């Protein structure tokens, strides 16, 4: 049930908080999401259908420690800003680790949980978190979130893997910033030295051209790894969208579930969640299935951004992104993980003109597969002044460490030097 307005401010915004994504108008939410970028695509993990499936499937619900409180700002009947906020009683499924903060609270006799998290559950993918029609509405939303957390007597507020516009609004509102590193691949033929009149960067024509752009050591390593998989008799097929059969979804889930169980954990996402994805967002999913002797034995599931029109109806330069998400195998084959999760998706991206591939959280080993380091940023507010000061000092030290780490990684660039453009 939609709650009554919580607050009116001098800008005539009305703030409402919803207990479920199902109470939020799906079209209004996705229309607001479409305003957030000029890439011509919607971030799939902030689509209403994705967040609704998380809740309706029981994957992200109060029973699993994710209690939704979707916050929306209205000007009259117009949705001006909104975000997906969750009350958390643990820190699982976030990938920006604050266990040390929680332990410090506990050691001082203070409650760290519940806390507020603004991010799609179990999804460490950078993207918009504060959906807003303009910068002023975005800043107002941040201030409303802090005020709401104070009124609810929460320990803290955390916006994870946020877009640059969100981080700017959070910084203006006085939140603390924290940096982490991910590894992303760009479909761009590298040019280290370019002339002023050089043509725009070109995409790779095929996987061989991509390999040729790498230094000899990395190129040799990738060829060896791919050869091991092929010599083991493993072949791949891919399906996208409605072409992914129910049997393939079932097989994928058996692999996905087994991977979690092998590590001693229950899977975050239920089979019902993926069934909802197949029905409501089929165009956003790409499945690779590895087979040996025509028998499926491993798979990887990739998410895709999908082209959409901009809010003003004008065309935008489309930037298409693929996201490495889930994988699993029923048999062990040397280097199969690299083939399923990197080489097959990268080859597909090249063949289908995708601009980038994001490999997910952590994993320095991804650099050997030509995924380069990218700094991601989260924003944090802590209610307790002393702990806020302590965390701020910690983040300053951690931030310098991240900067040094990025410099070290950049010195290990896997691409060979390119000739200067003429």
Spell out the per-residue pLDDT of the chain, length 422, in tens: 444 444 444 467 899 999 999 999 999 999 999 998 766 678 999 999 999 999 999 999 999 999 999 999 999 999 999 999 999 999 999 999 999 999 999 999 999 999 999 999 999 999 999 999 999 999 999 999 999 999 999 999 999 999 999 999 999 999 999 999 999 999 998 764 444 455 567 899 999 999 999 999 999 999 999 999 999 999 999 999 999 999 999 999 999 999 999 989 999 999 999 999 999 999 999 999 999 999 999 999 999 998 765 444 444 567 899 999 999 999 999 999 999 999 999 999 999 999 999 988 778 889 999 999 999 999 999 999 999 999 999 999 999 999 999 999 999 999 987 665 55
Residue 419 forms part of a structural domain: no
Whether residue 268 is found in the same domain as residue 394: no
Whether residue 146 is found in the same domain as residue 107: yes
Whether residue 153 is found in the same domain as residue 38: yes
The answer to whether the beta carbons of residues 374 and 183 sit under 8 Å apart is: yes
Whether residue 266 is found in the same domain as residue 323: yes
Residue 240 forms part of a structural domain: yes
Whether residue 138 is found in the same domain as residue 166: yes
Residue 214 forms part of a structural domain: yes
Residue 83 forms part of a structural domain: yes
Instruction: Give the pLDDT score at 195.
Output: 47
Instruction: Give the pLDDT score at 2.
Output: 45
Residue 60 forms part of a structural domain: yes
Whether residue 127 is found in the same domain as residue 160: yes
Residue 1 forms part of a structural domain: no
Residue 44 forms part of a structural domain: yes
Whether residue 204 is found in the same domain as residue 193: yes
Whether residue 50 is found in the same domain as residue 193: no
Whether residue 196 is found in the same domain as residue 160: no
Whether residue 123 is found in the same domain as residue 50: yes
Residue 335 forms part of a structural domain: yes
CATH number at residue 103: 3.40.630.30
Instruction: Give the pLDDT score at 319.
Output: 86
Residues of the domain holding 326: 183-374
Instruction: Give the pLDDT score at 310.
Output: 47
Total domain count for the chain? 2
The answer to whether the beta carbons of residues 291 and 235 sit under 8 Å apart is: yes
Answer yes or no: pTM beyond 0.85: yes
Instruction: Give the pLDDT score at 311.
Output: 46
Whether residue 255 is found in the same domain as residue 362: yes
Whether residue 24 is found in the same domain as residue 102: yes
């Amino acid at each position: 049930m939609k709650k009554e307005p919580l607050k009116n401010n001098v800008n005539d915004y009305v703030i409402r908080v919803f207990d479920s994504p199902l109470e939020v108008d799906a079209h209004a939410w996705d229309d607001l999401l479409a305003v957030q970028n000029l890439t011509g695509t919607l971030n799939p993990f902030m689509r209403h259908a994705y967040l609704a499936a998380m809740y309706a499937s029981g994957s992200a619900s109060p029973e699993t420690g994710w209690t939704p409180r979707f916050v929306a700002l209205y000007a009259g009947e117009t949705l001006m800003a909104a975000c997906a906020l969750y009350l958390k009683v643990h820190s699982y499924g976030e990938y920006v680790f604050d266990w040390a903060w929680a332990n410090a609270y506990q050691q001082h006799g203070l409650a760290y949980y519940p806390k507020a998290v603004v991010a799609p559950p179990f999804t460490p993918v950078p993207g918009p978190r504060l959906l807003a029609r303009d910068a002023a509405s975005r800043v107002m939303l941040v201030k409303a979130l802090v005020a709401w957390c104070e009124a609810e007597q929460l320990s803290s507020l955390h916006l994870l893997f946020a877009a640059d516009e969100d981080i700017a609004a959070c910084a203006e509102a006085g939140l603390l910033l924290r940096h982490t590193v991910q590894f992303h691949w760009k479909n761009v033929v590298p040019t280290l030295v370019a002339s002023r009149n050089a043509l725009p960067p070109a995409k790779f024509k095929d996987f061989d051209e991509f390999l040729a752009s790498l230094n000899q050591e990395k190129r040799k390593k990738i060829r060896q790894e791919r050869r091991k998989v092929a010599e083991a008799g493993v072949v791949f097929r891919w399906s996208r969208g409605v072409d992914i059969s129910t049997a393939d979804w079932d097989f994928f889930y058996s692999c996905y579930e087994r991977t979690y169980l092998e590590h001693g954990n229950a899977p975050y996402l239920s089979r019902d969640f993926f069934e909802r994805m197949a029905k409501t967002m089929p165009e956003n999913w790409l499945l690779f299935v590895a087979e040996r002797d025509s028998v499926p034995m491993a798979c990887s599931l990739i998410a895709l951004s999908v082209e959409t029109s901009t809010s003003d109806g004008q065309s935008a330069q489309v930037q298409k992104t693929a996201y490495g998400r889930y994988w699993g195998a029923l048999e062990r084959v040397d280097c199969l993980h690299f083939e399923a999760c990197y080489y097959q998706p990268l080859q597909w991206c090249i063949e289908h003109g995708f601009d980038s591939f994001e490999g997910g959280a952590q994993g320095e080993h991804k650099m050997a597969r030509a995924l380069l380091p990218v700094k991601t940023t989260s924003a944090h507010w802590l209610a307790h002044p002393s702990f806020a000061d302590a965390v701020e000092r910690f983040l300053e030290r951690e931030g310098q460490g991240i900067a040094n780490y990025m410099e070290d990684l950049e010195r290990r660039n896997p691409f060979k030097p390119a000739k200067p453009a003429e």
